[in-house]
Copies of this chain bind each other. A is one copy, B any other.
Amino acid sequence: MKELKVGIAQINPIVGNYEHNAAKIIRMIGEAAERGLDWVIFSELALPGYPVWDLAIRKRFVREGLKHLERIAAATRSKKTVAILGYIDEGPAGARKSYNALGVLSGGKLVHKQYKTLLPTYDVFLEHIFFIPAREQKIYRYKGLAAGMSICEDIWHEGYDLKPTQVLARKGARVIVNISASPYHGRVAEVRDDLIRKRARENGAYLIYVNQVGGQDDLIFDGRSLVAAPTGDILFRGELFREGLYEVSLDLGQKDFRRSARPKLPRRREGLGAADAGEMYQALVLGLGDYVRKNGFKKVVLGLSGGIDSALTAAIACDALGPGAVIGVAMPGEFSSETSLSDARELARNLGIEFRVRTITASYTSFLNEVMRFKQLEGKEPSEHSRISLAMENLQARLRGLSLMYISNDENVLLLSTGNKSEMAMGYCTLYGDMSGGLCVLGDVFKTDVYRLSAYRNSLGPVIPQATLDKAPTAELRPNQKDQDSLPPYEVLDRILYHYIEEELSGADIARKLAGKGIQPALVTDIINRVDHNEYKRRQAAPILRVTRKAWFGRRMPITNHFRS
């Protein structure tokens, strides 16, 4: 063989929808065959979608998948194109767990299979619970070409004793396929690029990396499939956040590879704010859109406070679903400023979305009067409402949640919650209030990144009002309240949170790191203790789209926890 024509099928499967996924796969096999490709390669668990969690250990789910695999195999019968894809195979007789499998389909049959060897069990991955690891790596021979097959973590072998790709290379593999379902986070492209280059180079083999695309609950898969030459040069980069069938030709006769077929990705600086704002924005658009569409909703609703979080969430929703699918609701209360309402209205006008105003003032007042009346009936001291207590602040947030959930139930539209990562960290949010909703769009986006994403969105066409960008953040639950009354400036807060959550540094280490910046150790300690203390709120949060290396979803902390840093 002199040349191998490879089709990279970067698809967005729907978890558990075998019909839909199989039809898409069969259609792409047909297209690949028409284009005369030798192979067409799909991502990890392309057939059931990824991740399926406990579904992977349901026999009925696995068997149903195997029936569809047969259908797909049949679709290769009279074609010269070989299809390579991920599916779930049954474990050995009596076993509870299954195999995360790769199948090679050719001439109507499953001609080769390779199970996943390294099962990631950390952060957002829990594969040890569901799958049995492969015990061997076998070579697939195609017209004299020795190829090695691997699945996702199998190429991320640092920290494991076994290195599956090395085994395959030693057995003569000149092409190594890796089917993946690797989720997006801010700096993943660069990390993946480096790894793929390295694996190709050290194994002296072509490396074909095919990644899933699409949103699945908290996770967003970014696609961006890659092909590297044995030199480590990147020959091909798939699109970001989009499905596609891409064609790449591997020159198997070539001995001397010219370097730099494609340039390296530019280095990004590390740390908070290092992620590309445009990429993160598009990730959220995909994550939100897929959650809504895959769960059968036609519309979303959200509260518009006039602040930046809800403005950005609304913009993302519009870009994902179109303005006709978004309802914005302003719910002014006793402590809302006039400009809050006008800013919300301007945003809605800019976005072209439906805008409603539902004040909470009347219900707030009548609830408090009721409480006073009840207390009198119970013979208790009627409490003074001149001081705004925490209960009264939360009450306002919950009355807004009540209104929004009424609309959600009444009109069957999905409520989006709008809190950001900094607030979720500090518990600066109200359970059953602003935390209400089926999906939390910005819960993994630091407040400082909310500003960056907003600036990015406005650079495409200004939709978020300047006043919203300029004003000091406020929850408006007390007179003249500002976030900065009870939180440090967001630049400081986010830096501490970043070191604590994403870098997992201790309070002492963070204090040392920031000592030169005039940040007191006591502030650091206070902040990280507040993060830990508010675990109980996050436990009841909606799914939160993951865009950082360490999201709440992959973090596991006890609620009952007396440890203070």
Which chain A residues have a beta carbon within 8 Å of chain B's beta carbons? 14-18, 20, 51-55, 57-61, 64, 121-122, 126, 128-129, 215-217, 290-291, 294-295, 356-358, 362-363, 366-367, 370-371, 374, 377-378, 383, 389-391, 394-395, 398-399, 401-402, 405-406, 409-410, 431-432, 436, 438, 504, 506-508, 536, 539-543, 555-563, 565
Contacts and interface: CB of A to CB of B under 8 A. Distances in A.
Nearest to A536: B438
Contact of A542 (B58, B390, B398, B540): B540
The 8 closest A-B pairs by CB, nearest first: A16-B563, A17-B562, A391-B409, A60-B506, A391-B410, A432-B432, A53-B556, A16-B562
28 contacts: A14-B562, A15-B558, A15-B562, A16-B558, A16-B561, A20-B562, A58-B504, A60-B506, A60-B565, A61-B563, A126-B126, A126-B556, A215-B560, A294-B562, A295-B560, A356-B374, A363-B367, A363-B370, A367-B406, A383-B410, A389-B409, A389-B410, A394-B409, A395-B406, A398-B402, A431-B436, A432-B432, A543-B559
Given A60-B565, A128-B121, A129-B122, A405 B432 contact: yes
Contact of A558 (B51, B290, B561): B51
A295 B362 CA distance: 36
Contact of A60 (B401, B410, B508): B508
Given A16-B558, A58-B504, A398 B405 contact: yes
Given A366-B366, A371-B406, A542-B540, A560 B398 contact: no
Contact of A560 (B15, B54, B121): B15
Nearest to A358: B374
Nearest to A20: B562
Contacts of A52: 558, 561
B561 A15 contact: yes
Contacts of A291: 560
B399 A402 contact: yes
Given A58-B506, A402-B399, A540-B540, A294 B560 contact: yes
Contact of A121 (B53, B54, B121, B366): B121
Contacts of A539: 542-543
A558 B126 contact: no
Contacts of A394: 405-406, 409
A249 to B, nearest CB: 36
Contact of A402 (B14, B16, B294, B367): B367
B395 A402 contact: yes
Contacts of A561: 15-16, 52, 55
A328 to B, nearest CB: 13
Q: How many copies does the complex hold?
A: 2
Nearest to A354: B378
Contact of A55 (B358, B395, B563): B563
A406 B399 CA distance: 11
Contacts of A431: 405, 436
Contacts of A401: 432
Given A14-B560, A55-B557, A389-B409, 8 more contacts: A52-B558, A55-B558, A55-B561, A58-B506, A122-B129, A362-B370, A405-B431, A432-B436
Contacts of A391: 406, 409-410
A402 to B, nearest CB: 5
A560 B414 CA distance: 14
Contacts of A556: 53-54, 126, 129
A60 to B, nearest CB: 4
Contacts of A60: 506-508, 565
A149 to B, nearest CB: 25
Contacts of A126: 121, 126, 556
Nearest to A399: B402
A377 B355 CA distance: 12
Contacts of A14: 560, 562
Contacts of A294: 560, 562
A371 B428 CA distance: 29
A17 B53 CA distance: 33
A391 B403 CA distance: 10
A369 to B, nearest CB: 10
Contacts of A558: 15-16, 51-53, 55, 216-217
Contacts of A57: 504
Nearest to A128: B121
Contacts of A374: 356-358
A197 to B, nearest CB: 24
B559 A217 contact: yes
Contacts of A557: 53-55
Contacts of A358: 370, 374
